Chain A
Amino acid sequence: MSAYLRLAGVNKTFGNFTALGHIDLEVEKGEFVTFLGPSGSGKTTTLMVIAGFEKATRGEITVADQSLAHLAPQERNIGIVFQNYALFPHKTAAENVYFPLQMRKVGKKEGMKKAAEMLDLVGLKGFAHRLPKELSGGQQQRVALARALVFEPDLLLLDEPLGALDKNLREQMQIEIKRIQKRLGVTTIFVTHDQTEAMSMSDRIVVFSNGAIEQAAAPLDIYHRPATRFVADFIGESNLLEATITDAATGKAHSPVLGEVTCGAEGLPPLTDGQAVSLLIRPEHLKLSREPKEGRQNAQMVIETIVNYGDNAVVIGHAGDQQIRVRVPGADVVILKEGDSCHFSWTADAVFVLDK
């Protein structure tokens, strides 16, 4: 199966500033892909290049093997949901949704009927005649989604659409967007800087940094097998420790903080003796105890802060000058005190090796 959307060597410069280095990406038909990265990493610029609002300096974009290069934004048949929804304030919800059909010369009667069906699908039955200002943030969001989908676009682009919603509504909309996207089977690109959003919604996550793609993979792969230090640090909480490979064959490394460490075999990059690497251990893979734990690798730390989340807690401590984060079940936290010295332990398969 060939890729539906293809970005080949897309580059974008503004004067001396390189916004996008060299973006290569393929997206399958019907796939839900998330662009994740800090602000200024190039994810929104990439979206705008696909939409046609920015022109790529070099490179090519194709949808179903058709180049978009000479198509104006209105000719691309791409639905976009903007960060602030961009609903037309002088048009009702139904008129907003009818607008793309109106532009496609669909008659008013038929178009308004389709608009009503689409509003139904996004759960806004009975709100058709409201103006945007008479709708809540979540409802406006749904209208924007309906408007971007009603004309059966080849692509759906969502530019941080949930940023302005509160947490509960945001989770609700995540599920809602995912449901509608699956139902319509539309190829979707979702831009966000929120990693939990990316984790919960995507078929695949593309991590951006400094105008380049760091990694493009399924959410759990990104989490468990980050390709670079940046991805390991950006996705989830992480302990990243400097180390030197002492025995490449058995996966042994020496870390000034942890001492002798055996690394997990899975996903080991080709290593050489004496190579400087970073070791990644996720906080939930560490355990705290008073005494060293049998059958696990151990090291010592001093507890500095305990952050409670109710069902779990993050214990932040220091081993030498290295900060260590340990996620512990909420019930365990009562026996711990700030200032206590304790042991933290891990197993070999929790240690993931990254190029330095």
Chain B
Amino acid sequence: MNTLMRWIGIAVVIFIAAPLVIVVPMSFSTAASLQFPPPGYSWGYYQQFFSDPSWLRPAWNSIYIATMNTLLTMALVVPATFALVRHKFWGKSFANLMMMMPMAVPHIVMAVGYYSYFGELKLVHSKLGVILAHSCLSVPITFLVLSANLKGFDLTLERAARSLGATPGQVFRHITLPILKPGLAISALFAFIQSFDETVVAIFISGRDAETLPRKMFDSIREEADPVIAVISTLLFAVVFAGLIAPSLIKGLRRMAGGTPSK
């Protein structure tokens, strides 16, 4: 049983890691198009990515849109989550359902909706349009992460703080917010990644001015299978990987420095 589980585990890891194993070598390829295994290795496509405005502009667009999307999503979802988790009110279950709706509706349906609706509002082909659309799509995942966090939050802590002399505002600032910080950070990260990853809606409404990286990659793959997209994939992977290991790395360094005494 134990050995079987171990082999299944290994198989799953290989299955998940396989695309990465292929993409990373291809980004260093000398071939003119995507090819595996690569005929030779070079930094060529990295140089091309960092010098070609037709790649850099969508990259900056994506970062800008994802950042704005994160801010907007959090501004909407944080108060909504507090209301939905902590309070009872008429129409609550309907509101809950609506928060999850964007996850249930296929992106292509949403995209068509935005295209026609935003067309009238002159928001198609604008960054604002993409930000608004992406925020709507980011709501379910941020709400899920945050509400799970908030449900696990011990309300006695807030009572304790009140009994110790804190006003509700002080309780939020000194107790609730700091304790929820990791949850807030993770849900914000999800909102960012959701927007950064999103392709379907971006293809429909981003146009040339607000072109995002996934849209550019999609166009590129359709037209020429440019190995630059392997470069981008590798870079994204590196960023995410760094983001995941950074916290534990910092913790480890702090421990080595003796900042927090261990038990």
Contacts and interface: CB of A to CB of B under 8 A. Distances in A.
Interface in B131-178: 154, 156-157, 159-167, 170, 174-175, 178
B179 A80 contact: no
Interface in A73-121: 73-74, 76-80, 82-84, 86, 88-90, 99-100, 102-104
A74 B167 contact: yes
B261 interface: yes
Q: Secondary structure of the A side of the interface?
A: loop
A51 interface: yes
Given A74-B165, A80-B163, A103-B170, A86 B261 contact: no
A90 B165 contact: no
Nearest to B158: A86
A303 B263 CA distance: 54
A151 B154 contact: no
Given A90-B178, A99-B174, A73 B261 contact: no
A151 B166 CA distance: 13
Interface in B209-252: none
Given A90-B178, A90-B179, A134-B263, A147 B156 contact: no
Contacts, number: 67
B163 A78 contact: yes
A72 B163 CA distance: 9
Nearest to A103: B165
Contacts of A129: 261
B179 A99 contact: no
A78 B160 CA distance: 10
Which of B162, B163, B178, B179 is the most central at the interface, judged by chain A CB atoms within 10 Å of its CB? B163
Contacts of A89: 157, 179
A80 B162 CA distance: 10
Centre residue among A72, A74, A77, A147 by max chain B CB count within 10 A: A74
Contacts of A230: none
Contacts of A86: 154, 156-157, 159-160
Contact of A100 (B157, B165, B261, B262): B165
A165 to B, nearest CB: 17
Interface size range on A against B: 20 to 34
Interface residues of B, number: 21
Contacts of A53: 159, 162
A51 B263 CA distance: 35
Contact of B163 (A73, A83, A84, A134): A73
A84 B167 contact: no
Contacts of A151: 164-165
A102 B167 CA distance: 12
A202 B249 CA distance: 52
A86 B160 CA distance: 6
A178 interface: no
A74 B251 CA distance: 36
Nearest to A159: B156
Contact of A103 (B154, B164, B261): B164
Contact of B179 (A52, A73, A88, A130): A88
A48 to B, nearest CB: 9
A130 B262 CA distance: 8
A73 B178 contact: no
A190 to B, nearest CB: 16
B263 to A, nearest CB: 5
B166 A103 contact: yes
A88 B163 contact: no
B156 A82 contact: yes
Given A86-B154, A129-B261, A134-B263, A74 B175 contact: no
Contact of A84 (B156, B170, B174, B260): B156
A79 B163 contact: yes
Contacts of A104: 165
Contacts of B156: 82-84, 86
B162 A82 contact: no
Given A89-B179, A130-B261, A74 B166 contact: yes
A77 B157 CA distance: 17
Given A74-B166, A74-B167, A103-B166, A88 B263 contact: no
A267 B192 CA distance: 76
Contacts of B167: 72, 74
A134 B165 CA distance: 26
A88 B157 contact: yes
Contacts of B166: 74, 99, 103
B174 A82 contact: no
Contacts of A79: 163-164
The 5 residue pairs across chains A and B that have the minimum distance between CB atoms = A103-B165, A86-B160, A100-B164, A73-B162, A86-B156
Given A51-B159, A53-B162, A72-B162, 6 more contacts: A73-B163, A74-B164, A80-B159, A82-B156, A99-B174, A130-B261
